[in-house]
Structure 1
Amino acid sequence: MHPISRRGLLRAAGAGALVLPLAGRTAPAASADATGPHPWVGAGPFTHVYDPSTTRRRYLNDHTLVRAGDRWHLFSIVGDSAPPGQAPDSAAEVSLAHASASSPAGPWSSQPDALTVDPSYFGEEHLWAPHVVESGGVHWMFYAAGGRTGAAINAATSTSADLSTWTRLPSGPLFRGTAARDPMVLRIGAEWVMYYTELSAPGGHHQVCYRRSTDLLTWGDGGVAFADAATAADGVSVTESPFVVARDGWYHLFLGPRNGYEGTDVLASRDPFRFSLDDRAGHVPGHAVEVVTDGQQWWASAAGWFRRGLYLAPLDWRSTPPPWQSPDNPVAAPDVRGRLNVLALDAADRSMLRRVQTDPDTDTWSDWEVFGTPAGAVPALGRNTDGRLEVFSLAPDGANLHHRIQRTDGSWTDWEVFGGPAGAAPAVARNADGRLEVFAPAPDGALLARRRQTSPGSTTWDDWDPDFSGPVGAPPVVAANADGRLEVFVLAPGGTALLHRWQTSAGGAWSAWEHFGTPAGAAPRVSRDGTGRLNVTAIAPSGTAAFHRRQSVPNGGWDAWQPLLGWSTAAPLTIAGADGRLEALTLSPGGERLAHRWQSAPAGTWAPADVSGEDFGEPGLPLAGTPSAAADSTGRLHVFAVTEDGRLRTRVQDRPSGGWRPWAAFGDRPVAALRPVAALRPGAPMP
């Protein structure tokens, strides 16, 4: 039987090692008397610390970091990069790269490959996901291999001081499985425990399994530590890169890809053999995340198909959940005078910044001004019936939401506490009767709360309704139907499904929650086209493709999901132009390709037919996230995008519903990129 390949599973993750300051250190068992809530996990910005490229551009993927003596060693899948927006062929991953450094932050020196594929060794066809541990002066490398006789977990050993020489076990694979890959080994008490990914059966559920050993050579029967709702029959792989950290009586399972290709969720448990989506403990915005400590600082490392090598970020063990980021960065909307307002966060201290379009005809803008104190996420905007804007901001620690209201003369009230705690800036929409409604998740996503104005344009609000929804896996999105009825869309925890709920009458009661789609990789987006129909976009669990679904008629039911664009970091942005045609933009993982499609007519077919779309971005300027967009008072669309290094760029239609001018700088003040990569400079100093 042929093993299930990375490509066949839309393989998008890796496994590796918990590296502690002393070789062979044992992770403690969970203490029986440990009490209190689990720690939460977040990460600072990732910095590029090692590029394996020489004469051609190369990537690293599943990797491991280990210290031997006074040197750190990196072992990793390595391969030739594909063109931007395309995935490489995982079947060509046939060697394991090796590099060494004096610290995880580098500088890293390339070494000869540690292993190359050996078809004569029990049918090896690929080399994936190395993981290294030390025991009794011998380093053991576990890796995923296999071939026509089935997926296998293999091992090689090294006694060389520089870990340059590796010898495969003459006895062959440690064990085989349906799709066994991504081994990670942790010492717990007197045993070694191997975590790896597997399927419950061919076409079955994705799982994180475990086996136990006392000698690293003989492994017991497999057990299931985590079972995912997704199956291989869904055509996606959403349970990869298992990595377990034992710390302070808790076990934290890092698992990806979640929230797109470049995302890793964290689950916490007292029991190292039982994890659940109910035990969410954070998110790290990187791919194939490993956890490493030098004894003083904890780090998250990441690598993947769409990046150039190894990235490192400070890992943050915290008492509160890290906030979700807003879907739009920056956020833009016309104000009471019809002028576009653009709000972003300062790159240095995350204070809120604002620019105003002073003349739409000449497209001139004010300078940046400080509009608010540091925030935990880009704010959200609501627009009252008379055009007055209302800004909703998340406190840095999620303790409260704040808001600020525009007056009819264009001035603004002071900031006021709006409520909380909250896990993200809220979704905002205007009800059929003109009242603004906001929807905000709790910091841990355990519930979704709703609040609305007491009357249209009022400065007073009803109390929060905390029972609008149970657990959510991402911030909600909301839009108004053509008849004014609001409709809310959410991602279920772990991306297991999309759900929606709508008002059954204008300004009235709400329906029950219903399934709106199968597993998805991130929060959806929603917009309304020129015919009044709602359109929803979403991505596959690993970000391999983007899809859209629209109402069959305004206010009515829904057509089937249809493909829209290729690899995507998040659900594509869609926005209607002056003639009602939707424009769609999606950013590929790695940020180097911004794909663009548009409707030939309102609610019509999409052009071009090729789902790769037209490249709408700037060569050599990778973006930090999917752009945002807004229409000005002339009807022209403005697209705003933040580059990886925090430069804000804009592209504007030359006329309503027309072509596009070239990209241009949008002010000279750096803004927060809010992306996993803070710099693309190998060997850059750590923040």
Structure 2
Amino acid sequence: MLPLSRRNLLRGAAVGAGALSIPGAARAAAAAAGSVPPARWIGAGPFARVYDPSTPAGPRYLNDHTLIEARGRWHLFAIVGDGAPRGESPDSTAEISFAHASAPDPNGPWTTHADALTVDPSYFGEEHLWAPHVVEAGGRYWMFYAAGGGNGAAINLATSTDLSTWTREPSGPLFRGLAARDPMVLRIGGEWVMYYTELSGPGGHHVVACRRSADLVRWSEPVVVFADASTDTTVSVTESPYVVERDGWYYLFIGPRNGYEGTDVLASRDPFRFDLTGAAGHVPGHAVEVFAVGETWYASAAGWFEQGLHLAPLQWRDTPPPWQSPDDPVAGLDVGGRLTVFALDAADRSMLRRVQLAPDTDTWSEWEVFGGPAGAVPTLGRDTDGRLEVFSLAPGGVNLHHRVQRADGGWNDWEEFGGPAGAAPAVARDAAGRLEVFASSPGAASFARRRQSWPGSTAWEPWEAGFGGAAGAPPVVAANADGRLEVFVLAVGGTGVRHRWQESPGGAWTGAWHPFGTAAGAAPRVAADGSGRLTVAAIGPSGTGTFFRRQSVPSGGWDGWQPLFEWSAAAPALAANADGRLEAFSLSPGGARLSHRWQLSPGGNWAPGGEFGEPGVRLAATPSAALDSTGRLHVFAVTAEGLVRTRVQAVPSGGWRPWTAFGDRRVAPVVSGSPAL
């Protein structure tokens, strides 16, 4: 029998025990949340690295971890391993010890100690050490952790009196399961409750299960507290469950959701019943743990791609934060055929603009302020006469604004645009040449549609509210070869991608949303190639891979899903070359590697591709790409430090020049395609 690995468990496991029971109330969506969720939205950011476990021998990473305060110091225990090549996942079967460090404050400085525990194959067949969680009770410290063995996944226990020397429970594993891992223990109502990742049954769904105990050694039979409907055993998105109580509400943090470096938050009055109706926020980190120091709340995160422990302030908001635009920065041709780039200033989030000085040159104006602070990078529309329209989200999601270019190249003043304001809207031009806008409400609770009264008009028809219901992210839109618009959206909880389209060019829309694919980890991307066919790309749950689906014929049906990239932080940027071939750019989780593939012919197969980024340069988000008037693609990327860099084709549809700096002004790096505070 092949040994289990954490990567295999992310992709699925089915060994050992029988199916778990799911209480009837947990199957009822409305009842499962207990009542209407609280008027809170939980988020965090920005994360800062506070501890790096690397040694002179090379980089090391931390993964699932635990923090505990004891005797005036904070102690960290975590999965630890050697770093893998840029953008690649490490060998999780080599995760055989727990790192230990301590600090006077969670922000450091951290002191590295000897590893707390090392795998012991003689102890009931231990094969790995994963996901430690430590609590204090009865004058001892209790470390619960996941371990494999010939009899399947196991939850084990070790205890200590000094947090340095640990002794395993003599009786062996506390219990075994199908894929039991990532334990977290909490005191609720006079008893101990353990939450952990599990499968509902062989071939079943990934769930968060719980067991109860009075003594931390003997545990009840499991029940399911959250069942994820988006996936079967293929990929787990119920990893690292963590529960906290605040003001009579319980909050379940689980992931990876919205990519590998993403954790969703669900709220419930009942600590044993959670579901998606209690969606209450998102934290852009992996294996998130939550704790308070006095009145200040923190989120800690670690993962394969992050090289250490990261810390961020945890924020409790009355309203959802805005979703960030998929392109950062955003670029498009203006009425004079000059490429124009928009970004947000790092200091005050004012809108910035740079313009090519001539359509056929690589010289640019300086960054200039184009508008007041914005809640997200803007989105662009282009009228049939070439005039740009800029659509902006006000800070805090107060409302939408837009600004229209004049025929002489100047700009009209900013105007209110109305409509829901949860993100900068998606924009496309329909068959008649009218711009159509699709705007999401806060938290992607719904979205609406609005279009120009006629091509190039400054007048707009009224908003069509209720064009789409609750979604997992704002929509994306593209035009078919026959001019019919088609909208794609991520379903709540990433359970799939849905789409809706015009039944005739410029005409009515299908009355219902149609399933478009299996579970997805983040908002999709869509682009048209030179053959007239649309291609949609999306990452799988947890970001373990990127897949694409293209039309069989222009404006027609669809081929099946096919792989495009491996690990990806978000759906790749798609852009068409001057000759119609699509190019795709995918950023790895953590931003260390930028990969690149391209079609061999318009609508055809994809070249194997390879590395496109710069060694040693970490990016904040997937880059954007746009054609200039000569037919050359320009790629724009924001580094983790907030500096914009660019790479340009030497000739249309050809090779690429080296990366260069794109001005020295710092812009606001955002996690594109996700909500961020």
- 1:58 equivalent to 2:60? Answer yes
1:400 match: 399
- 1:649 equivalent to 2:645? Answer yes
The structure-2 alpha-carbon separation of the partners of 1:2 and 1:148, relative to structure 1 and needing over 3 Å to count, comes to farther
Deviation at 1:203, TM superposition (A): 1.7
1:24 match: none
1:9 match: 9
**How many Å separate the matches in 2 of 1:215 and 1:322?**
42
**How many Å separate the matches in 1 of 2:581 and 2:254?**
39
**SS of equivalent residue, structure 2 residue 6:** coil
One-letter identity of the residue aligned with 1:205? H
Deviation at 1:232, TM superposition (A): 3.8
**How many Å separate the matches in 2 of 1:189 and 1:39?**
24
The structure-2 alpha-carbon separation of the partners of 1:36 and 1:206, relative to structure 1 and needing over 3 Å to count, comes to closer
- 1:504 equivalent to 2:473? Answer no
1:665 match: 661
- 1:47 equivalent to 2:43? Answer no
The structure-2 alpha-carbon separation of the partners of 1:544 and 1:633, relative to structure 1 and needing over 3 Å to count, comes to same
**How many Å separate the matches in 2 of 1:34 and 1:296?**
26
TM-score normalised by structure 2 residue count: 0.94
**SS of equivalent residue, structure 1 residue 38:** coil
TM-score normalised by structure 1 residue count: 0.92
One-letter identity of the residue aligned with 1:145? A
Deviation at 1:38, TM superposition (A): 3.5
1:26 match: none
- 1:138 equivalent to 2:137? Answer no
Deviation at 1:36, TM superposition (A): 7.6
One-letter identity of the residue aligned with 1:522? A
* Conserved? CA contact 1:640–1:651, under 8 Å: yes
* Conserved? CA contact 1:441–1:449, under 8 Å: yes
* Conserved? CA contact 1:62–1:288, under 8 Å: yes
Matches within 5 A, 1:313-352: 313-352=312-351
2:15 match: none
The structure-2 alpha-carbon separation of the partners of 1:213 and 1:2, relative to structure 1 and needing over 3 Å to count, comes to farther
Matches within 5 A, 1:359-378: 359-378=358-377
- 1:195 equivalent to 2:191? Answer no
Deviation at 1:296, TM superposition (A): 2.9
**Quick check: 414-423 or 33-42, which moved more?**
33-42
**How many Å separate the matches in 2 of 1:627 and 1:250?**
39
Deviation at 1:165, TM superposition (A): 1.1
* Conserved? CA contact 1:134–1:140, under 8 Å: yes
* Conserved? CA contact 1:476–1:523, under 8 Å: yes
One-letter identity of the residue aligned with 2:648? V
1:99 match: 101
1:129 match: 131
One-letter identity of the residue aligned with 1:133? V
**How many Å separate the matches in 1 of 2:605 and 2:174?**
53
Q: Deviations over 1:289-321 (max 9, x none)?
A: 111211132111111011111111111111001
- 1:624 equivalent to 2:604? Answer no
**How many Å separate the matches in 2 of 1:413 and 1:536?**
35
The structure-2 alpha-carbon separation of the partners of 1:527 and 1:34, relative to structure 1 and needing over 3 Å to count, comes to closer
Runs of 5+ in structure 1 lacking a partner?
13-31, 677-686
Deviation at 1:156, TM superposition (A): 1.0
Matches within 5 A, 1:484-495: 484-495=483-494
**How many Å separate the matches in 2 of 1:110 and 1:463?**
61
**SS of equivalent residue, structure 1 residue 8:** helix
1:470 match: 469
The structure-2 alpha-carbon separation of the partners of 1:381 and 1:660, relative to structure 1 and needing over 3 Å to count, comes to same
**How many Å separate the matches in 2 of 1:662 and 1:10?**
37
* Conserved? CA contact 2:487–2:499, under 8 Å: yes
- 1:171 equivalent to 2:171? Answer yes
Deviation at 1:589, TM superposition (A): 1.1
1:273 match: 272
* Conserved? CA contact 1:441–1:472, under 8 Å: no
The structure-2 alpha-carbon separation of the partners of 1:516 and 1:33, relative to structure 1 and needing over 3 Å to count, comes to closer
Deviation at 1:425, TM superposition (A): 0.9
Q: Deviations over 1:244-269 (max 9, x none)?
A: 11001211111100111111111111
1:69 match: 71
One-letter identity of the residue aligned with 1:514? H
One-letter identity of the residue aligned with 1:624? A
Matches within 5 A, 1:564-583: 564-583=564-583
Deviation at 1:98, TM superposition (A): 0.3
* Conserved? CA contact 2:34–2:268, under 8 Å: no
Matches within 5 A, 1:371-386: 371-386=370-385
1:447 match: 446
**How many Å separate the matches in 1 of 2:638 and 2:211?**
45
Deviation at 1:4, TM superposition (A): 5.1
The structure-2 alpha-carbon separation of the partners of 1:420 and 1:52, relative to structure 1 and needing over 3 Å to count, comes to same
Deviation at 1:553, TM superposition (A): 1.1
**How many Å separate the matches in 2 of 1:646 and 1:625?**
10
Q: Deviations over 1:93-148 (max 9, x none)?
A: 11010000011111111110110011111111111000111112211111111211
Deviation at 1:2, TM superposition (A): 7.2
* Conserved? CA contact 1:41–1:322, under 8 Å: no
1:458 match: 457
2:386 match: 387
* Conserved? CA contact 2:4–2:93, under 8 Å: no
* Conserved? CA contact 1:644–1:675, under 8 Å: no
**SS of equivalent residue, structure 1 residue 48:** strand
Count of residue correspondences? 651
Deviation at 1:35, TM superposition (A): 8.7
Runs of 5+ in structure 2 lacking a partner?
13-32
**How many Å separate the matches in 1 of 2:254 and 2:460?**
40
**How many Å separate the matches in 2 of 1:378 and 1:137?**
52
Matches within 5 A, 1:410-559: 410-511=409-510, 512-559=512-559
- 1:590 equivalent to 2:590? Answer yes
One-letter identity of the residue aligned with 2:344? L
* Conserved? CA contact 2:37–2:268, under 8 Å: no
One-letter identity of the residue aligned with 2:466? D
**Quick check: 381-390 or 450-459, which moved more?**
450-459
1:117 match: 119
The structure-2 alpha-carbon separation of the partners of 1:4 and 1:500, relative to structure 1 and needing over 3 Å to count, comes to farther
**How many Å separate the matches in 2 of 1:667 and 1:498?**
38
1:614 match: 610
The structure-2 alpha-carbon separation of the partners of 1:91 and 1:73, relative to structure 1 and needing over 3 Å to count, comes to same
**How many Å separate the matches in 1 of 2:478 and 2:254?**
32
1:29 match: none
**How many Å separate the matches in 1 of 2:35 and 2:294?**
22
One-letter identity of the residue aligned with 1:264? T
Deviation at 1:675, TM superposition (A): 3.6
Matches within 5 A, 1:152-301: 152-160=154-162, 163-233=163-233, 235-301=234-300
* Conserved? CA contact 2:54–2:307, under 8 Å: yes
Deviation at 1:11, TM superposition (A): 6.4
One-letter identity of the residue aligned with 1:453? Q
**How many Å separate the matches in 1 of 2:338 and 2:360?**
11
Deviation at 1:513, TM superposition (A): 1.1
Deviation at 1:85, TM superposition (A): 2.0
Q: Deviations over 1:583-626 (max 9, x none)?
A: 11101112111111111111122112xxxx31010111111111
Deviation at 1:544, TM superposition (A): 1.2
**SS of equivalent residue, structure 2 residue 230:** strand
**How many Å separate the matches in 2 of 1:465 and 1:185?**
48
